Amino acid sequence: MGVPIEVWVETIKRHPVKYKFKGLDGEGDRSAHGFFTDVREAAVCDAAFMERYLEQEQGFFLECLEEALASEAPDVKTGLDDDDVESYARFLRRRLWHRWTEEENILHASARKVVRLLDTEGSGGALRCEWAGERVDPHFAWGDIRGQEPEWLLGEHPPEAMWSHAYEQGVDLEDVMFVCPGCHREPVREKDVDRDPVRFYCGLCGAEACPDEGHSLEDWAEAVGVKLWPFRQSGA
């Protein structure tokens, strides 16, 4: 709909209703399947989104390991290496201890030595992918997504429908004329508005409005500060 992200953010804060976000199909609660008040919650509840996110996280760990191994060896005074190198070495010790043929105890060998001798596949190999997969923590990912600003997701996943509590169904945003100014939760559609005489009634909270004779519902909305929908490029 060509709506700026900041408009969506402000509007969602003003109307804390349940929305269906484009491309996110998480279940949500039983009464409003696929509808959420928060795009971040919609994301963590969408299996396909989380699978892509965790794959990206796995790729991030692989890149970090590659960069660390390409850097200089650790300080000889401490003997400690980059966290990812140390982590990968622990993984190799656990998985391939039986392949260790050095006289030096595998537990005492430096992380880089363990990687150099046991990581025969190198970059992109199955072992590194398995290690990176173990490093990815879904619970941490959920927390990370929930901690992001909503703008991060709304650009690609803007709202496309609003949940009607009164009718227990989704309403396409293109069909929403405005949100009830009484409860700020119920979408009012064009067909929910009587035109002769002009009147609207909210099926959720019971709020109603009857503009003075000769005035349109649009006039009434402007007078009381109700934002009409659908959105235009200039704002909500």
pLDDT band, residue 189 (cuts 50/70/90): confident
State residue 85's pLDDT score.
Answer: 93
Task: Share the mean pLDDT of the chain.
Answer: 83
State residue 18's pLDDT score.
Answer: 86
The fraction of the chain above a pLDDT of 90, given in percent, is 40
pLDDT band, residue 233 (cuts 50/70/90): very low
- CA dihedral over 140, 142, 145, 146, signed as positive or negative: negative
Angle at 66 between CA 60 and CA 72, to 5 degrees: 130
Highest mean pLDDT among 71-85, 112-126, 211-225: 112-126
State residue 43's pLDDT score.
Answer: 93
Tens of pLDDT, residues 73-86: 776 666 678 899 99
pLDDT reading at 208 higher than 90:
no
Angle at 165 between CA 217 and CA 220, to 5 degrees: 10
Give the per-residue SS3 of 175-230: HEEEECCCCCCCEEEHHHEEECCEEEECCCCCCEECCCCCCCHHHHHHHHCCCECC
pLDDT band, residue 1 (cuts 50/70/90): very low
Report domain extents, the chain: 5-38+150-176+188-224, 48-143
pLDDT band, residue 87 (cuts 50/70/90): very high
pLDDT band, residue 3 (cuts 50/70/90): low
State residue 232's pLDDT score.
Answer: 39
Tens of pLDDT, residues 8-46: 667 666 666 888 999 998 776 556 688 998 999 999 999
- Using alpha carbons, list the distances in angstroms from residue 102 to 73, 74, 80, 90, 107: 20, 21, 20, 17, 11
pLDDT band, residue 236 (cuts 50/70/90): very low
State residue 58's pLDDT score.
Answer: 95
pLDDT band, residue 234 (cuts 50/70/90): very low
* Of residues 152, 131, 133, 161, the one with CA closest to residue 19: 161
pLDDT band, residue 211 (cuts 50/70/90): low
What does DSSP assign to residue 173? G
State residue 195's pLDDT score.
Answer: 66
Least confident range of 18-22, 150-154, 165-169: 165-169
* Of residues 201, 158, 202, the one with CA closest to residue 210: 201
Length of the chain: 236
Termini Cα distance of the chain = 11
DSSP one-letter string for 54-114: HHHHHHHHHHHHHHHHHSPPPPTTT----HHHHHHHHHHHHHHGGG---SS-TTTS-HHHH
